[in-house]
Structure 1
Amino acid sequence: MIPAMTTDRLILREYNDADIDDYFRLKSDKETMYYLQDIQLFSKEEADADFAKILVDMISEDRKFYFFHIELKETHEQVGSIGYTVVDNTPIGKIVHAGYFIYPKFWSKGYVTEAFKRVLEYAFTENDVYRVTAGCLAENIGSEKVMVKCGLIKEVEHLDWEWHDGRMKTRLEYRLLKNEWQGQ
């Protein structure tokens, strides 16, 4: 179990059994999950199955998912979720793909940037991560701003890459290597 991480305004902590309803509410919220429709949940049964996998993975020796419940320090209100998925484990460190999603009422307040900076610190200093990638649709300007503010470097722009909301959309991909993070 990873100890809770804090920032000036937030607590980032591992999920636990008591979080299932919050998890379902967040991942089934249509506006929150607009850009992540492939992982959006539509039923309590889906949520229960998805959440059970997360809890099992958390205690696995070959853990794949490092996603954290984000809450406000002062009120413990749920803000969203942030973290990364291990896509490869190389001799020089883990290759991971990061992501985040928060309720719209918390957008444009700097919470994701604050949380992502802390997740990057954990990844590079405590979890043997070598490379972090993240991406978003080009129209998701807020998400791209988070990546830039956190020091990620744009690698590619995939024109008409993904079918989303009835049309083809362009996807942006960013990266940050451990030595680049250390040099910031």
Structure 2
Amino acid sequence: MGIKLLTERLLIRDFEANDCDCVHSYASNPLVTEHMIWGPNTLNETMEFIQRTINMQKRSPRVAFELALILRTDGKLIGGVGFHVSDLQGEVGYCIHPDYWRQGYASEAAAEMLRFGFQEVGLHRIYATCRPENIGSANVMKKIGMTYEGHLREHMFHKGKWHDSLQYSILEHEFNG
């Protein structure tokens, strides 16, 4: 049985093989991937991503969730949210098609991932990171109640250079969902 979560405006579900074209419409966009550690994707890379997400769904116990964000009004796939578990902690991330930026969808999806992580998976702590230039993502983390933990300096090497990250987290007893 796959994951299906409902928020006010979104159905959050497991990715399916036929989602590839919709995912590729944002995963291949340099504007979307500017602050990501991946992309912009080739079509083959997007197809491989979809296959990896389908393989994740088969693992038991499940520790990785890459989920599609579907508008409840018209069924359009507008992005994805990821959730990865290790040692009663989870890391959440999100990616939205730019046509849907600044409309609260990332916050809505990430808040549901906090609820899912704490109430259904039984986590103690959930964290997220973003590049310091990605103010929109940092604002999402603040909006959903995460606390700024610090600035990780040049801690990862991607796309030919070292990158900093800002880290935010929330503990189970701090969550009000």
Distance 1:75 1:174, change over 3 A: same
Query: For residue 78 of structure 1, what is the amino acid of its counterpart?
Result: L
Query: Which residue of structure 2 aligns with residue 122 of structure 1?
Result: 116
The alignment's C-alpha RMSD in Å is: 2.3
Asked if structure 2 preserves the Cα contact closer than 8 Å seen for 1:82 and 1:101, the reply is yes
Contact 2:30 2:40 (8 Å CA) reproduced: no
* Structure 1: gaps spanning 5 or more residues: none
2:26 aligned with 1:26, yes or no?
A: yes
The residue that corresponds to 1:63 in the other structure is 62
Q: What amino acid maps onto 2:23 in structure 1? A: Y
Q: For residues 142-157 of structure 1, what are the structure 2 equivalents within 5 Å?
A: 142-157=136-151
Q: Normalization by structure 2: what TM-score? A: 0.87
TM-score between both structures, scaled by the size of structure 1:
0.84
**Cα deviation per residue 1:104-130 (whole Å; 9 max; x = unaligned)?**
111111111111111111111111222
**CA-to-partner distance for each residue in 1:13-64, whole Å, 9 max, x for gaps?**
111222122233332222111111x322532322223322211111111323
Q: Deviations over 1:90-109 (max 9, x none)?
A: xxxx2111100101111111
1:141 corresponds to: 135
Q: Match of 2:126, as an amino acid?
A: V
Name stretches of at least 5 consecutive residues in structure 2 with no aligned partner: none
Hey, what does 1:10 align to over in structure 2?
A: 10
Q: Contact (CA 8 Å) 2:146, 2:170: kept in 1 or not?
A: yes
Say which SS state the counterpart of residue 55 (structure 2) adopts. helix
Partners of 1:56 and 1:165 in 2: CA distance: 26
Q: Distance in 2 between matches of 1:62 and 1:26?
A: 30
Structure 2 CA distance for aligned equivalents of residues 167 and 98 of structure 1: 24
